[in-house]
């Protein structure tokens, strides 16, 4: 009798995505290339943006009016699109990591290594790691202004990083840090309650993997407005 294969590892970012909207994570799983598209994917994403398409059409009309040659106009348009997408693709592949940050006078170093926590069923790459008295403290960096209190999705993503680091280091971190773009910083304890909540979220994600459809998990229009799937989602609050 063959052994049952273990479930796929859950990423820390999937924890945050599930909290933000479980249905969006459901769509993510069916569109795995949307986050890391190849060159063809980049081209498609460029073309489906209405404002970019509008600028392209307007530019082609102007160019045709000047040259009166349809062939040259079309070739110039295609070359422009290709170069734009190629430069964007190269930038995302070769951009330098963010500079180091500090917390309470201690320098945090950018982490480039993806860590696996097989026992807990998680995988992820903390943005930064602080070294405090022999502990590795995960730091979650967000490129957005900080709220009055950290968002639940960010808290649980950091807790996931905490469990990942704990399984890869001899000393388990007792807390982690969320740093927002405006410098606002929060400490999050990795206590039993936080780990229990994280385990429950992971159970929900695993259960949703077996479903053919997943309902929207919030009632906030702004989330639907910002969602890349709002046009195809039949449960969107912004239609």
Asked whether residue 73 is domain-assigned, the answer is yes
What is the pLDDT averaged over residues 206-216?
94
Instruction: Please check whether residues 48 and 78 belong to one and the same domain.
Output: yes
Instruction: Please check whether residues 120 and 45 belong to one and the same domain.
Output: no
Asked whether residue 234 is domain-assigned, the answer is no
Asked whether residue 233 is domain-assigned, the answer is no
Instruction: Please check whether residues 113 and 220 belong to one and the same domain.
Output: yes
The total number of structural domains in the chain stands at 2
Instruction: Please check whether residues 142 and 222 belong to one and the same domain.
Output: yes
Instruction: Please check whether residues 24 and 104 belong to one and the same domain.
Output: yes
Residue-averaged pLDDT of the chain: 83
Instruction: Please check whether residues 54 and 110 belong to one and the same domain.
Output: no
CA distances from residue 95 to 186, 203, 236 in whole angstroms, order as listed: 28, 36, 34
Instruction: Please check whether residues 138 and 50 belong to one and the same domain.
Output: no
Distance in angstroms (rounded) separating the CA atoms of residues 88 and 71: 26
Instruction: Please check whether residues 166 and 79 belong to one and the same domain.
Output: no
pLDDT of residue 7: 76
What is the domain range of residue 199? 10-30+98-226
pTM of the model: 0.73
pLDDT-based confidence at residue 1 (cuts at 50, 70, 90): very low
């Amino acid at each position: 009798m063959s052994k049952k294969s273990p479930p796929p590892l859950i990423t820390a970012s999937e924890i945050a995505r599930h909290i933000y909207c479980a249905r969006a994570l459901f769509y993510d799983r069916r569109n795995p290339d949307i986050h890391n598209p190849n060159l063809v994917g980049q081209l498609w994403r460029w073309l489906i943006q209405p404002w970019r398409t509008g600028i392209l059409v307007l530019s082609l009309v102007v160019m045709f009016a000047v040259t009166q040659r349809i062939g040259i106009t079309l070739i110039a348009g295609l070359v422009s699109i290709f170069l734009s997408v190629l430069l964007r693709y190269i930038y995302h592949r070769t951009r330098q990591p963010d500079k180091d940050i500090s917390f309470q006078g201690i320098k945090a170093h950018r982490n480039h290594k993806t860590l696996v926590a097989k026992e807990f069923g998680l995988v992820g790459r903390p943005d930064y790691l602080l070294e405090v008295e022999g502990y590795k403290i995960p730091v979650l960096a967000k490129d957005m202004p900080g709220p009055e209190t950290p968002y639940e999705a960010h808290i649980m993503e950091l807790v996931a990083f905490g469990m990942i680091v704990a399984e890869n280091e001899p000393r388990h971190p007792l807390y982690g840090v969320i740093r927002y773009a405006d410098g606002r910083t929060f400490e999050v304890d990795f206590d039993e309650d936080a780990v229990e909540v994280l385990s429950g979220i992971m159970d929900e994600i695993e259960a949703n993997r077996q479903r053919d459809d997943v309902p929207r998990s919030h009632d906030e229009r702004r989330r639907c407005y910002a969602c890349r799937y709002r046009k195809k989602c039949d449960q969107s609050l912004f239609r």
